[in-house]
Amino acid sequence: MTSRNRVHATETEAAVSSIHEHGFVIIKEAVPKEPLAVLRERMDRDTEELLAYCESIGGNPRERGHLQQGPPVSSEYVFADVAMNHYVNRICNQLYNNRPRLTFYNGNTNCPGSTTQGLHMDGRHATLAPEPVAPTSSVVVDIPAGPMNKQNGSIQIWPGTHLVRPPEGGPRVPKNLEADRVAIEPPIQPETQVGDVLIRDTRLWHRGVPNPSDRPRHMIALIVTDGRLPVRGKLDFQKGCEDALEGHTVDSNANYLDEEIDYLLSPTRRIYMSRQSAKAEQERQTESAKESA
């Protein structure tokens, strides 16, 4: 082992311990600035298109100002330094005994004028009481495309809450748990520079909060999961992305397609459609309750 590798090994261990103990870690200067500048410029343009789409369907089907916006999935915009980052991959290998798999590639854009989201987790607990809380098996890797701070709506995270299991196991955090937790450890809004990465257990409580600035805050979000868990679907990328995604120590779990992929609007369209069918079902049930009354 060279001395450089030893430094890496110690840093990696510290990062893994922080994830186990606090539910998150921030890796400083993990990603070079150039690809993030390219992504930020493109994602700014894409936000305009996504907002116009939201307008056409009666508004964002998610909470106001919080867009499900991922980066393009074509070779000009998929970078190994971002999607298969060396530091992130080392940490995930250590977390999952050398079997990490990429299971999500998208992102969150927090727009000016956004609201406060309900407190939630991105995953569920694998066990319910009286079983012990299971160890981390999935992490979100948040890579802000620009600086992220209180002034532009940095994500609010609740340290240590990956170990605090709501009665139903998630993903919503019941309101009555908030005050008790604040008394133990209040939430924070991490402040990061371009190139810093936030890795958090998918069970960590968090939410989007208002962005008081005048420009959207983009946060690319990957999920890296323990590869010993069953595969729940592959990720679509365009042909040509193999160069960036293959040959690393994280399984890319990718399908390479020879066709255009609607990476920008389709996640929001899916949310819209599912909300519409839930609404229709609700109306149907109300009607039938009235009829049988």
Ligand X SMILES: O=C(O)CCC(=O)C(=O)O
Decide whether 43 or 241 has the Cβ nearer to ligand X. Answer: 43
C-alpha to C-alpha distance for 153 and 156, rounded to whole angstroms: 8
Q: Interaction with ligand X in 152-181: which residues (CB under 6 A)? A: 155
d(CA 28, CA 202): 20
Decide whether 85 or 152 has the Cβ nearer to ligand X.
152
Exposure string for 145-157, b = 16+ CB within 10 A, e = fewer:
bbebbeebbbbbb
How much is the CA Rg of the chain, to the nearest whole Å?
A: 20
Binding of ligand X by 47 (CB under 6 A): no
Minimum CB–partner distance for residue 99 and ligand X (Å): 27
Cβ 149 to ligand X shortest distance, Å = 12
Which listed residue (165, 181, 203, 206) binds ligand X by CB under 6 A?
A: 206
Smallest distance from the beta carbon of 226 to ligand X, in angstroms? 22
Count of CB atoms situated within 10 Å of the CB of 181? 18
Stretch that binds ligand X, among 83-91, 205-213, 246-254, 273-281 (CB under 6 A): 205-213
219 in contact with ligand X (CB under 6 A): yes
Q: Is 110 in the site for ligand X (CB under 6 A)?
A: yes
Q: In this structure, are residues 159 and 23 in contact, taking their beta carbons and an 8 Å threshold?
A: yes
Binding-site member from 108, 161, 252, 268 for ligand X (CB under 6 A):
108
Per CB under 6 A, the segment of 10-18, 202-210, 226-234, 277-285 that binds ligand X is 202-210
Pick one of 22, 54, 60, 66: the residue that binds ligand X (CB under 6 A): 66
Print the binding letters for residues 7-26 with ligand X: x by CB under 6 A, - otherwise. --------------------
Pairing of strands 254-257, 235-238: parallel
Binding site for ligand X (CB under 6 A): 66, 108, 110, 117, 155, 206-208, 219
